[in-house]
Structure 1
Amino acid sequence: MRILVVNVNTTETMTASIGAQAAGVAAPGTEIVPLTPVFGAESVEGNYESYLAAIAVMETVRAYPDPYDAVVQAGYGEHGREGLQELLDVPVVDITEAAASTAMFLGHKYSVVTTLDRAVPLIEDRLKLAGLLDRCASVRASGVAVLDLEHDPQAAVEAIAREAARAVEDDHAEVVCLGCGGMAGLIERVAERTGAPVVDGVAAAVTIAESLVRLGLSTSKVRTYAPPRPKSFKSWPP
């Protein structure tokens, strides 16, 4: 089985970190292929960057030349998962939805701890669209910029763990979801601080994708995610 794990930003070191997290949970025989978009922002922290990332992710996957069995979209918020589901005949799993749906097996309410406050509405909208918001106790911002996860990891981990503890204590969350693909590898520290199960979206998405492939299931093409109708596109691809 081969799974493409697509970073939504153009930072190669973050792609490597996401790929390592994915490979660490993949079953024997599953090949993880980390991909970085060829255009876009170095970090995705707002609507403009997010919509640009959606196009970049779709085009990066379309350009991949070899066969694959599933795609994991490794970005929190809105990054074009539905477009990929129209384009592809293999399962497409978004880490935002994968983390939340996994968390609901583990406790009554979950919280998401993300990066900057401006990302909170994007994540809430994604969860609402997916029908996962009712069991969400809160979406909390740590105040950590995406690239700070690499540039100042010690301070970043402390800020994320602090907000996770507040989610459990103040919001009554029973499970914590790490709300950024770049937070891969923080599970133990946050679990230690909160005493609650901690779900990493990349790890959850990979295991869900593997399960769908083994079950022989993929996206329904009956209506919503039917392939795009044939038509001409002006000046596209650029």
Structure 2
Amino acid sequence: MRIVVTNCNTTQEMTEEIVRGARAAAGPGTTVTGLTPAWGPESVEGWLDSYLSAAAVIDTLRTYDGAYDAVVMAGFGEHGREGVRELVDVPVVDITEAAAHLACLLGRRYGVVTTLERSRGQIEDSLHAAGVAQNCAVVVGTGLGVLDLGDTQRTEEAFVAAAVQARDAGAEVLVLGCAGMTGLQRLVGDKLGLPVVDGVAAAVKLAESLVNLGLTTSRAGSYAKPLPKRRTWRPGAKPGPGAGPGPGSPGPGV
């Protein structure tokens, strides 16, 4: 089985960290390839970044010429998943909804611990669209930017402090609210005594399950293939499969 994991930003080091977490979760016989958009924001923090990132991720997948059986979208609360589901003919699993769905199996209410407070609105909207917002007790920011997560000690301290707030607000399960937080689940779970769901790992396991069950996106209604029409993409790059004429170029793999 071949899974493509798309980073939502252009920071290659973060793609590599996400891929390490995805490969650790993947079962025997599953290969994981990471894709980094060739353009877009270096980190996604806010509505503008998110919409720009969505276009870049779609462009990257549109022009990627490798074979794959499923797509994991590794941007927590970011836009684009619905467009990608129209675009590709394999299961598409977003880490936001994957983590929330698994969290709902582990407790009555879950809390999301994320980066900056400004991301709360996007995450809440994403959870609502996925149909799991009613089980979310709270979304708590750590005050750290996405690119600050490389400071391990600072990240751990900030995450534990925010996780305590989430627990005190009624969360029975915690969700890592950024793909760059992959790897924190064991540390925080041990300290707080709560299950902690990593969205990257959750998405990989759900993607494997869908492929093994022979299931993919329904084409009845909402996720029907895009209407045939002229679409103008980035100037000067090659056309890719699936979304009408237009240029583009794949991001580098990992």
TM-score, scaled relative to structure 2: 0.91
| Structure 1 match to 2:190 | 192
Matched, 1:98 2:90: no
Q: Deviations over 1:2-41 (max 9, x none)?
A: 0000000011110000000000010000000011000011
| Structure 2 match to 1:67 | 67
Q: CA deviation at 1:77?
A: 1.0
Distance 1:184 1:204 in 2: 11
Q: Deviations over 1:154-206 (max 9, x none)?
A: 111110111112211x2111100000000001111111221100000000000
Structure showing greater relative contact order (alpha-carbon pairs closer than 8 Å, 6 or more residues apart): 2
Q: CA deviation at 1:94?
A: 0.4
Distance 1:60 1:79 in 2: 14
Gaps of 5+ in 1: none
Distance 2:70 2:233 in 1: 25
1:237 maps to amino acid: R
Q: CA deviation at 1:64?
A: 1.4
User: 2:227 aligned to 202, 210, 229, which one?
Assistant: 229
Query: SS state of the match for residue 147, structure 1?
Result: helix
Where do residues 42-121 of structure 1 align in structure 2 (5 Å cutoff)? Answer: 42-121=42-121
| Structure 2 match to 1:25 | 25
Distance 1:187 1:46 in 2: 25
Could you tell which deviates more after superposition, 152-161 or 122-131? 152-161
2:102 maps to amino acid: T
Query: SS state of the match for residue 73, structure 2?
Result: strand
Aligned CA-pair RMSD: 0.8
Question: What is the number of equivalent residue pairs in this alignment?
Answer: 235
Q: CA deviation at 1:153?
A: 2.1
Alpha carbons 1:8, 1:79 under 8 Å: kept: no
Alpha carbons 1:110, 1:135 under 8 Å: kept: yes
Query: SS state of the match for residue 72, structure 1?
Result: strand
User: 1:175 aligned to 173, 176, 181, which one?
Assistant: 173
Q: CA deviation at 1:129?
A: 1.1
Could you tell which deviates more after superposition, 7-16 or 186-195? 186-195
| Structure 2 match to 1:165 | 164
| Structure 1 match to 2:140 | 140
Q: Deviations over 1:100-138 (max 9, x none)?
A: 000001011100000000000100010011111110010
Percent of paired sites with the same residue: 56
1:92 maps to amino acid: V
Gaps of 5+ in 2: 236-254
Matched, 1:14 2:11: no
Distance 2:32 2:79 in 1: 20
